[in-house]
Amino acid sequence: MINITLPDGSVKEFESGVNGLDIAKSISNRLAKDVLSVTVNGEIWDLKRPIESDASIKLNTWDDRDGKEAFWHSSAHLMAEAIETVYPDTKFGIGPTIENGFYYDVDLPEGKTITEKDLEKIEKKMVELARQKNDIVRIDVSKTDALKRFEEIQDPYKLELISNLEDGTITLYNQGAFTDLCRGPHLPNTSYIKAIKLLSVAGAYWRGDEKNKMLTRVYGITFPKAKMLTEYLHQLEEAKKRDHRKIGKEMELFTFSQKVGQGLPLWLPKGAQLREALENFLKRVQKRFEYDQVITPHIGDVNLYKTSGHFQKYGKDSFQPISTPQEGEEYLLKPMNCPHHCELYRFKPRSYKDLPVRMAEFGTVYRYEQSGELHGLTRVRSFTQDDAHIFCRPDQLKEEFLKVIDIIFIIFKALDFKDYTAQISLRDPSNTEKYIGADENWEKAESAIIEACEEKGLNTVTELGEAAFYGPKLDFMVKDALGRSWQLGTIQVDYNLPERFDLTYIGADDKHHRPVMIHRAPFGSMERFCAVLIEHTAGKFPLWLTPEQVVILPISEKYNDYAKKVSNYLNICDIRSIVDDRNEKIGRKIRDNELKRIPYLLIVGEQEAENNTVSVRRQGEGDQGSKTMEEFASFISAEVRSQLGSIYE
């Protein structure tokens, strides 16, 4: 008999060899129907894989990411089986799950292609195969046998993958007539997959290397219920309407240029205003919390990043060093700001009375991303972080951590992000070579984060293996208006960089002590944050943030001068306004400017010019009556204050 510990701490006794599905059945028939995978001692397993010793488990349903992983992983295999059926002699690369769904990279027989038009016939074949209810069976084989299996079918991609694996047991999975190299986990059988949609086709180099062959990548998504697929496709259509690349072009916020380079965004005047408003907002918040603004260069000596450990960890993913033959030096485009801030801390001796030291910078950094991975503003090669680093005494750590959480809450409130989860990202104890620093420091840092979250009463989830290489972190996962989850805001505790840079302060005992470092970026990157914000609001930003808050519409050319007078007055009052003096009918002007998502439209004609007033229209709400210029300016200022709330207190 073995003891199985459930997530609520209760322990149940089972015979050795019990599996996740059996355990689910012992709890309830409903759970047995819904469960998709089982997490055993932190590792995701197939439901039918025998558990032969005492273990802590979690039964994963569709509501759990680990449940979706098994569902979509099995769906990728089902799609591969369908492709092999429709296109015999296809060779297969990799077929992982992604945030929403899965893909498979395939090498089609010579002369064969898959286009968007071909997806429907592959979908139909997937439905047919799913209804066969074929068991998905795990097969343990030796490396020699695995190589022999794929040599027989002459699949060079699987042979390359197997050759890179260590000697020992290798797992294959079989369903029907299809067998694939895979670690799993998978569903018990194909019948779980009810609703299928293949979404797109793209090209992808094998293993992401441009020197390798271009394969065909097919993307898809599946669900256990048809209703879920219908809802997802509706959400997808809404997402297309809200695509930040589309809205960014319509609102003239940003652009890209092949001559400038891929992944290097160019901010147009309105986009620059948007960013400036966000930066000024955060600077105001930071001033309340006693941060000091600093500025550091866009490059640094490569030895700076070797000292921090970033070069060893991420050097291959950075732009390669810039050499200066005449001086024998090597510089790197700045991949992160923290090493520079460590050097700023070292500028002068510090006393325990000087701490905490809080440095903030909107620092632009550069990281090489493969061209195929670039996507609008969400994945770029140059981005600006709203970075700050706090150097504090160990006894100040929790208080400072709690203050950073307060800053993030202020931002979420001002931008109407209400649905979020705090993710505690810890190191993976089974893979400690990924990280630097002593176990003792990691334990102290992880405890501080957990205690702070408990004190704030945050809704948290814990993820092992998601820590930064130098310390654990707290990531805020925010759901947007379409229910999609984004990481916005991160706080990291670091005992290691202060050691690597030999940072100290003089304590009350006149001895040298090591400060603790907190890395903090509430927005994360300005580019990615703006992309999320555009899609969350569909470009209808809160009044305090929108680049053009007011447009003045003269009903004829005779009132252009009065319109400019109103605009000048509002601009003096720090209200961003423009004049639409085109020779168009007023109805056309109203329609055009509402499409531009400008919150307030002021119509001026003979009566308004005589009475020094404006006729007010609110975006999407119509006529709001007449106001004097002074009344309207006060009205706008009051609305901005109500949106920003405690920032002005």
| Segment 507-550, tens digit of pLDDT | 999 999 999 999 999 998 999 999 999 999 999 999 999 999 99
Mean pLDDT of the 401-423 span = 90
State the Cα–Cα distance between residues 276 and 282, nearest whole angstrom. Answer: 10
Q: Each residue of 56-114: pLDDT tens digit?
A: 999 999 998 899 999 999 999 999 999 999 999 999 999 999 888 999 999 999 889 99
Rounded CA-CA distance 71/190 in Å is: 9
**CA distances for 453 relative to 220, 340, 413, angstroms:** 37, 29, 18
- DSSP letters of 436-474? -S-HHHHHHHHHHHHHHHHHHT--EEEEET-SBTTB-EE
Tokens of 130: 């799913």
Instruction: Check whether 336 has a pLDDT greater than 60.
Output: yes
Task: Report how far residue 161's alpha carbon sits from residue 93's, in angstroms, rounded to the nearest whole number.
Answer: 9
Closest by Cα among 10, 42, 132, 54 to 427: 42
For a pLDDT cut of 90, what percent of the chain falls above it?
69
Look up the domain containing 144 and give its range. Answer: 66-240
pLDDT on residue 457: 87
Which amino acids are annotated catalytic?
A: 338, 367, 385, 387, 389, 473, 519
Interacting residues of 36 by C-beta distance below 8 A, sequence separation 6+: 47, 60, 61, 62, 64, 67, 68, 70, 71, 187, 192
| Average pLDDT for the chain | 91
Residue 12: inside a domain, yes or no? yes
Two tokens, residue 277: 């408003």
Q: What is the pLDDT of residues 471-491, one digit of tens each?
A: 888 999 888 878 888 888 889
User: Do 491 and 342 fall into the same domain?
Assistant: yes
pTM: predicted TM-score of the whole model, two decimal places = 0.77
Largest CA distance in the chain: 92
pLDDT tens profile 198-230? 999 999 889 888 889 999 999 999 999 999 999
Element (H, E) at 391: strand 382-392
Look at residue 18 and tell me if it is in a domain: yes
pLDDT at 185: 93
Residue pair 627/614 in contact (Cβ under 8 Å)? The answer is yes
Task: For residues 627-641, give the mean pLDDT.
Answer: 93
**Is 248 a domain residue?**
no
The answer to whether 75 and 220 are in contact (CB under 8 A) is yes
On whether the CB atoms of residues 195 and 220 are closer than 8 A, the answer is: no
CATH number at residue 143: 3.30.980.10
Q: Does the residue 260 lie in any domain?
A: no
Where is the domain boundary, 535, 558, 581? 535
Question: Above 60 in pLDDT, residue 649?
Answer: no
pLDDT higher than 70, residue 646: no
Nearest-5° Cα angle at 314, 310 to 316: 135
Which stretch of DSSP H or E encloses residue 81? helix 65-86
Give the phi and the psi of residue 273 in degrees, each rounded to 5: -65, -40
Band (pLDDT 50/70/90 cuts) for residue 430 is low
CATH code at position 599 = 3.40.50.800
User: Which pLDDT score, from 0 to 100, does residue 572 have?
Assistant: 94
Length in residues, the chain: 649
Phi, psi of 547 (to 5 degrees): -60, -40
Residue appearing with tokens 């022999």: 148
Predicted local confidence at residue 320, as pLDDT: 81
- Do 194 and 333 sit in the same domain of this protein? no
pLDDT reading at 648 higher than 60: no
| Same structural domain, 292 and 430 | yes
Cα 78 vs. chain centroid, distance in angstroms? Answer: 28
Helices (H), 439-595: 439-456, 496-500, 526-537, 560-572, 586-595
Per the structure, the count of domains in the chain is 4
Last residue of a domain, one of 511, 535, 559: 535
Residues 283 and 233 in one domain: no
Q: Are residues 234 and 285 in the same domain?
A: no
Q: How many helices (H) and strands (E) does the chain have?
A: 20, 33
Q: Which of 305-319, 389-403, 533-547 has the lowest mean pLDDT?
A: 305-319
Distance of CA 257 to the CA centre of its chain: 24
Determine the pLDDT at residue 482.
80
According to the model, what pLDDT value does residue 326 have?
A: 78
Consecutive H or E run containing 552:
strand 550-554
φ, ψ at 558 (rounded to 5°): -60, -25
Q: Tell me, yes or no, whether 207 and 348 share the same domain.
A: no
* Contacts of residue 276, Cβ cutoff 8 Å, sequence gap at least 6: none
Looking at the structure, do residues 231 and 216 belong to the same domain, yes or no? yes
Q: Give residue-wise pLDDT tens across range 122-131.
A: 999 999 999 9
Q: How many Å apart are CA 237 and CA 509, to the nearest integer?
A: 64
Same domain, 77 and 217: yes
Q: Is the pLDDT of residue 437 over 80?
A: no
Residue 297 lies in a domain: yes
Whether residue 263 is contained in a domain is answered as: no
**How far apart are alpha carbons 546 and 439 in whole angstroms?**
47
DSSP state of 558: G
- Asked if the structure places residue 421 within a domain, the reply is yes
Mean pLDDT of 596-600: 92
More confident residue, 152 or 373: 152
Predicted confidence (pLDDT) per residue in 540-585, tens digit: 999 999 999 999 999 999 999 999 999 999 999 999 999 999 999 9
Terminal CA-CA length for the chain? 64
Task: Let me know whether 87 and 172 are in one domain.
Answer: yes
Check whether 645 has a pLDDT greater than 90: no
The stretch 26-31 carries a mean pLDDT of 92
Q: Is 377 domain-assigned?
A: yes
Q: Is the pLDDT of residue 361 over 60?
A: yes
45 and 156 part of one domain: no
- Residue 647 binned pLDDT confidence (cut-offs 50, 70, 90): low
